[in-house]
């Protein structure tokens, strides 16, 4: 029972990580689209970041108990329970990628406006810098292997996620906190 409880909390942490990435993307997108919005929607963000993973983890736990209650739940012989977790994570990755593309489009429009000074080369440098800063914040690197089946790309996926995913928090902290003069 202890092993299963630890795995449930682990899966909850993984899913909450993806949904908090989605919340960051939604928040930034709303800030850029609705510039003078008085309502900051923090309750909705909390429900997305903690609530949606809770619903799916409870559903996953029930399906594991009913369909595949073997061992410590670390194997997936039947695909059903695994997809209860996998599909919401894939949806959050895809929505976050769409938000990322939308924000890049908004930044490109703002750089092309006549009010922005500088030559084309400096504008594209600023766009490239903004894009590179947004990649770890949105978790864009997860889209590389998101739609591949786990068995076909597992070795490359592990190496890729260990190299990029493990340092994502550090990169975000350095770029947005430590190097930010306002913080």
Q: Domain 1-178: give its CATH architecture.
A: Up-down Bundle (1.20)
The whole model's pTM is what?
0.78
Spatial separation of the C-alpha atoms in residues 13 and 7, rounded to whole Å: 10
| Rounded Cα distance, 145 and 149, in Å | 8
Is pLDDT above 60 for 163? yes
pLDDT tens-digit readout, 95-113 = 999 998 998 888 888 777 6
The reported pLDDT for the residue numbered 72 is: 82
Phi, psi angle pair for 166, to nearest 5°: -70, -30
Query: Which residue has better confidence, 102 or 136?
Result: 102
Q: What is the pLDDT of residues 41-74, one digit of tens each?
A: 788 999 999 999 999 999 999 998 888 888 887 7
SS3 state of residue 134? helix
């Amino acid at each position: 029972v202890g092993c299963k409880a630890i795995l449930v909390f682990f899966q909850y942490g993984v899913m909450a990580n993806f949904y908090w990435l989605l919340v960051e993307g939604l928040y930034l997108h709303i800030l850029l689209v609705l510039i003078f919005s008085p309502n900051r929607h923090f309750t909705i963000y909390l429900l997305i970041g903690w609530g949606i993973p809770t619903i799916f983890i409870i559903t996953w736990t029930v399906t594991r108990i009913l369909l595949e209650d073997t061992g410590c739940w670390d194997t997936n012989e039947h695909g059903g329970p695994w997809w209860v977790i996998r599909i919401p994570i894939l949806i959050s990755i895809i929505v976050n990628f769409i938000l990322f593309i939308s924000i890049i489009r908004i930044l490109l429009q703002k750089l092309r406006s006549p009010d922005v000074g500088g030559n084309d080369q400096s504008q594209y440098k600023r766009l490239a810098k903004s894009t590179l800063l947004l990649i770890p914040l949105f978790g864009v690197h997860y889209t590389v292997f998101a739609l591949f089946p786990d068995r076909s790309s597992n070795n490359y996926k592990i190496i890729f996620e260990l190299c990029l995913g493990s340092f994502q928090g550090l990169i975000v902290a350095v770029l947005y906190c430590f190097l930010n003069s306002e913080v």
